[in-house]
Amino acid sequence: TPSSFTQLLRRPSPKLIPNPKQQPLRNITHDSCSNDSNNNINNNNNNPLHPNDVVKQICLTIRSKPRWENTLLSDFPTVTFLDPNKAVNAAKTFLDFTKYVPDSVGFESYVRCLCESGMVEDALQVFDEMRKRGVCPLLETWNCVLRGCIKDGRVDVVWKLYGEMMELGVGVDVDTVDCLIQAFCLEKNVSKGYELLRQMLDDGYVPNKVSFDKLVFDFILDRKYPRVSALLHIMIAKGVNPDLYTYQQIVHGLCLKRMQREGLRIFNDLKDRGYAPDRIMYTTMIHGLCKIKWIGEARKLWFEMIQKGIRPNLYTYNTLLYGYFKIGDIENALNLYKEMKDKGYGETLIAYNTMINGRLEDGLNLLHELVDHGLRPSSASYGPLIEKLYETKRIDEAKNLWNEMQEKGVEPASVCINDDVIIGLSNKGYVAAGIYWLAYMVKNRLLPRQKTFENLIGVLSQKDMLDVGQIALGHMFKIGAANPLSPRIVILWECGYCIKGM
């Protein structure tokens, strides 16, 4: 980031980058649609058409029927043309099918639409094509792409794009710097984000509230409470008043750091000062209390919320259900689950996952039941079951469930946090699977215990598989967990080579 934003915080006019070749724009969307205009896309069997086929029919109508704009709605009575959730997919299919090349304004609108719909990878492809064509997008579009990358967790792309902005001389504004502050926070470098915020303030600019909220939350997680207090005072002084969401983030952060007592004090203090907590804030506080088994306090807030006319939703019900299971109150948990089903919340993935985690003895049956109801299991569905099977030494059953999870394309995020899974797999002979899970932990920045590495090297040494052990050590060095090597790992490694006669 630059040393001063005084000269950079400006909005430039659109700028063309010379490109003498001016090659025709390549296909800017996926090549998944056929170009053959002779394809029969009429719906002759009365089955519902795929949205892409509908778009193709509309394109043909526009190109072949005079005054099509007068009859389009009647020709396609079942199509909702103004549904914003489907607009971006329709635009993609339209551009691909017709090979239409929009102007720079159209391109930028399309990129922003893709970003706002969460289709960041597609947006980046189109964005890249724009620049290859010689068009420097407006700052508004740069910022939209940066925000999309932030939401998608693509911090590396954020810094790459920002570097390109600097090379092209694109001025930045407050929205740009908001993205940079959030990027620092995503990298767990909240102090750098705070420095950038202070730098902006010194240059006479005030960041948007989203930057303050993000820094407040991350400083809570880092237990840097004086910084939190300083930020709140800065917000008030600069006219960016903390609101209910800001305080909800504080309460949530405190609960994550097992400081529920302090979180509850702030929650009650807010009510005394005239704030009216909403359903999200009540749910956050109830969940925090349930995590430390303060079910009595959680129930008080539950009934207080209902008394104030705030009805529990799926997440609020699920939170209290989790709390009952946490203290082993199966009777109240089942009664609450029955109430959830009566209100239409029972047969949902969230509810099933909580029931699976709370009643592991019935977990496999519940897993099959949720599939029968047309739900797709998640890592939270499989994780507790797999961990329980490993704890009870039922390794083969756990491996089968793990294979099923992979076949369904479910990422094993929550399962991999349990280091014992890696050792259990390796001990049973599933070494490749154990190494895969270790690599997955490293990829997701989850730090396994040193003991896990030591045990894994020990297993591999006994099985005469030190070549695989080198892979494990590579993962250890990658995250700094084996620098320096522990004495036990060195001994195990040397013993393994002695066994091999090396």
What would the pLDDT profile of 161-195 be if each residue is shown by its tens digit? Answer: 999 999 888 889 999 999 999 999 999 999 999 99
Question: Cα(151)–Cα(120) distance, rounded to whole angstroms?
Answer: 9
Residue 447: pLDDT over 60: no
What pLDDT band is residue 255 in, cutting at 50, 70 and 90? very high
Length of the chain: 502
pLDDT of residue 418: 56
Tell me how far apart the terminal alpha carbons of the chain are, to the nearest angstrom.
52
Q: Hey, what's the torsion of the CAs at 286, 288, 290, 293, to 10 degrees?
A: -130
Residue 42: pLDDT over 60: no
Averaged pLDDT for residues 267-289: 95
Q: Where are the beta strands (DSSP E) in 38-143?
A: 135-136
Q: What are phi and psi of 136, to 5 degrees?
A: -90, 115
pLDDT of residue 381: 85
CA atoms within 13 A on the CB side of 411: 8
Residue 132: pLDDT over 70: yes
pLDDT of residue 64: 77
Q: Which residues of 81-105 are buried (b: 16+ CB within 10 A; e: fewer)?
A: eeeeebebebbbbbbbbeeeeeebe
Instruction: Give the DSSP letter of residue 17.
Output: P
Residue 437's Cα: distance from chain center in Å? 20
What pLDDT band is residue 68 in, cutting at 50, 70 and 90? confident
pLDDT of residue 94: 59
Question: Cα(32)–Cα(376) distance, rounded to whole angstroms?
Answer: 26
In the block, tokens 């917000």 appear at 235
- CA-CA distances (angstroms) from residue 384 to 9, 164, 346, 361, 388? 50, 44, 19, 11, 6
What pLDDT band is residue 358 in, cutting at 50, 70 and 90? confident
Closest-CA residue to 173 (of 9, 347, 358, 301): 9
pLDDT of residue 160: 93
pLDDT of residue 382: 86
pLDDT of residue 89: 65
Cβ atoms of residues 264 and 285 within 8 Å: yes
Quote helix, strand, coil % in the chain, to nearest 5. 65, 0, 30
pLDDT of residue 88: 65
In the block, tokens 């967790």 appear at 153
pLDDT of residue 302: 97
pLDDT of residue 20: 31
Residue 323: pLDDT over 70: yes
Residue 316's Cα: distance from chain center in Å? 21
Residue 266: pLDDT over 60: yes
Alpha helices in 152-291 (DSSP H): 155-168, 174-186, 190-202, 209-221, 225-237, 244-256, 260-272, 279-291
Long-range contacts of 180-189 (CB under 8 A, 24+ apart): 180/1, 181/207, 181/211, 181/214, 181/215, 182/150, 182/210, 182/211, 182/214, 183/150, 183/155, 183/158, 183/159, 185/214, 185/215, 185/218, 186/150, 186/153, 186/155, 187/155
Comparing 71-80, 266-275, 433-442, which segment has the lowest mean pLDDT? 433-442
Question: ∠ at Cα 114 (111, 116), nearest 5°?
Answer: 110
